[in-house]
């Protein structure tokens, strides 16, 4: 089926009116978002109770409420809770960034890890690890700088009297290939200890995460989430094309630039906290859209879906492979690669690629 023949999914909603103001509420989308948030929180409780010292969900909740033993307090608050919070924040950040870029590009392949921003963050971190033997804080700073520089480069190269979705995706795929080559070159030049450290980081993992990763990422999400939600109407209009958005009063380039900067910064911050966790940004918005059956970016459902996917993947990585705990990035890459192949086949059958 051609793109011009696609139909817009029907949505169930109610209109709230107060005085002269009216607000359209998508009931199904709101319910799906709340259910996804509940799933993410429930899996977080299960994940906190998973490990060499297993804890029942009731014990985890009692400990979080301040009623645990000294040993339980140490295990939960000092060892496991920071890891789970990093997982939730990274998953939410990647899901939200994926929804932003897929809406801007009007293409399901337009996620940050496909169009180069994850690789850019990895290149920045590898530069700090290999060339400067930086500490974790410096590596995180390098990842953020690398992601932002890649975002600027892709934006400039894709610009031609505006940003066209397919041009953005194609330029991003080219940037991904070039940056992957740079990352491989940096690994060949690293000493064995630095190379080992770099490979572990490149896999994407929540192992060893503590409060030092939680607070910076939480601050970034607290600032950028309201900013992106405030641009939700403009983002929804951009999905209809620049001309339609102009006609509806949207400042197209300003809105696109703010959203792209926010999405790149979310991706870079998530990568700085947990390494380049693949395919969450690609998969989460698509699954959220299928559950809500709603057009538009589905920003909050995509964020909660990303959080639920990542903590579930981390729990599976700890439980499904016996004594060998698989890094969560390796598991998301295996599952996400299969999803990408399915998506490509689906898009080709539909005549959109």
Query: Average per-residue pLDDT in the chain?
Result: 81
- Helix or strand run (H / E) with residue 307: helix 299-319
Phi, psi angle pair for 327, to nearest 5°: -60, 145
Name the CA dihedral angle for 331, 336, 338, 343, rounded to a multiple of 10 degrees.
170
Q: How far apart are CA 181 and CA 136, in angstroms?
A: 23
Does residue 272 register a pLDDT over 80?
Answer: yes
3-class DSSP state of 24? strand
Q: How far apart are CA 228 and CA 104, in angstroms?
A: 12
- Match 């809105």 to its residue by tokens: 255
Please list, in sequence order, all residues whose beta carbon lies within 8 angstroms of the beta carbon of residue 32, skipping any fewer than 6 positions away: 288, 291, 292, 301
Alpha carbon distances (Å) from 185 to 123, 130, 178 = 10, 11, 11
Q: What is the pLDDT of residue 321?
A: 65
Alpha carbon 228 to its chain centroid, in Å, reads 14
Q: What is the pLDDT of residue 305?
A: 93
Q: What percent of the chain has pLDDT over 70?
A: 88
Q: What is the pLDDT of residue 71?
A: 86
Alpha carbon 352 to its chain centroid, in Å, reads 24
Alpha carbon 271 to its chain centroid, in Å, reads 9
**First and final C-alpha spacing in the chain:** 11
The domain made up of 26-320 is a member of CATH 3.30.1950.10:
no
Residue 136 burial (CB count, 10 A) = 16
Q: What is the pLDDT of residue 218?
A: 93
Highest mean pLDDT among 165-174, 243-252, 255-264, 301-310: 301-310
Q: How far apart are CA 4 and CA 127, in angstroms?
A: 45
3-class DSSP state of 15? strand
- Domain residue limits, the chain: 26-320
Which residues are paired to 24 by β-bridges?
Answer: 15
Residue 65 burial (CB count, 10 A) = 8
Q: Name the token pair of 183.
A: 């990352």
Tell which wins on pLDDT, 195 or 284: 284
Phi, psi angle pair for 71, to nearest 5°: -65, -40
User: pTM for the whole thing?
Assistant: 0.85
- Helix or strand run (H / E) with residue 63: helix 57-64
Does residue 119 register a pLDDT over 70?
Answer: yes
Q: What is the pLDDT of residue 39?
A: 93
Q: Give per-residue pLDDT as tens, 174-193.
A: 888 888 888 888 888 888 88
| Alpha helix (H) residue ranges in 159-230 | 165-188, 192-203, 211-230
Which sign does the torsion angle of CA 193, 313, 105, 296 carry? negative
Of 332, 338, 301, 302, nearest to 314 (Cα)? 332
Q: Does residue 4 contact residue 273 with C-beta atoms inside 8 Å?
A: no
pLDDT grade for 14, boundaries at 50, 70 and 90 = low
């Amino acid at each position: 089926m051609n793109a011009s023949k696609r139909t817009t999914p029907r949505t169930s909603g109610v209109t709230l009116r107060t005085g002269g103001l009216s607000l359209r509420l998508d009931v199904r989308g709101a319910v799906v978002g709340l259910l996804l948030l509940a799933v993410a929180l429930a899996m977080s409780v299960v994940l906190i109770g998973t490990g060499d010292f297993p804890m029942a969900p009731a014990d985890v909740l009692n400990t979080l409420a301040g009623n645990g033993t000294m040993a339980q307090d140490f295990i939960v608050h000092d060892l496991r809770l920071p890891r789970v919070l990093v997982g939730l924040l990274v998953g939410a950040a990647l899901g939200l960034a994926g929804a932003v870029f897929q809406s801007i590009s009007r293409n399901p392949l337009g996620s940050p890890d496909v169009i180069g921003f994850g690789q850019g963050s990895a290149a920045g971190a590898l530069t700090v690890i290999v060339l400067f033997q930086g500490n974790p804080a410096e590596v995180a700073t390098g990842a953020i700088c690398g992601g932002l520089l890649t975002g600027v480069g892709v934006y400039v190269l894709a610009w031609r009297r505006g940003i066209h979705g397919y041009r953005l995706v194609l330029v991003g795929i080219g940037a991904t290939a070039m940056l992957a080559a740079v990352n491989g070159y940096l690994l060949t030049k690293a000493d064995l200890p630095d190379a080992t450290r770099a490979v572990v980081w490149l896999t994407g993992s929540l192992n060893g995460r503590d409060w030092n990763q939680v607070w910076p990422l939480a601050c970034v999400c607290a600032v950028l989430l309201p900013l992106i939600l405030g641009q939700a109407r403009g983002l929804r209009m951009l999905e209809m094309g620049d001309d339609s958005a102009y006609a509806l009063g949207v400042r197209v380039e300003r809105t696109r630039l703010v959203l792209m900067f926010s999405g790149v910064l979310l991706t870079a911050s998530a990568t700085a906290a947990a390494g380049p966790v693949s395919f969450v940004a690609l998969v989460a918005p698509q699954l959220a859209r299928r559950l809500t059956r709603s057009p538009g970016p589905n920003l909050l459902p995509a964020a909660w879906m990303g959080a639920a996917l990542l903590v579930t993947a981390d729990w599976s990585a700890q439980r499904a492979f016996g004594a060998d705990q698989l890094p969560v990035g390796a598991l998301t890459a295996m599952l996400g690669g299969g999803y990408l192949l399915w998506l490509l086949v689906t898009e080709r059958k539909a005549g959109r690629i």
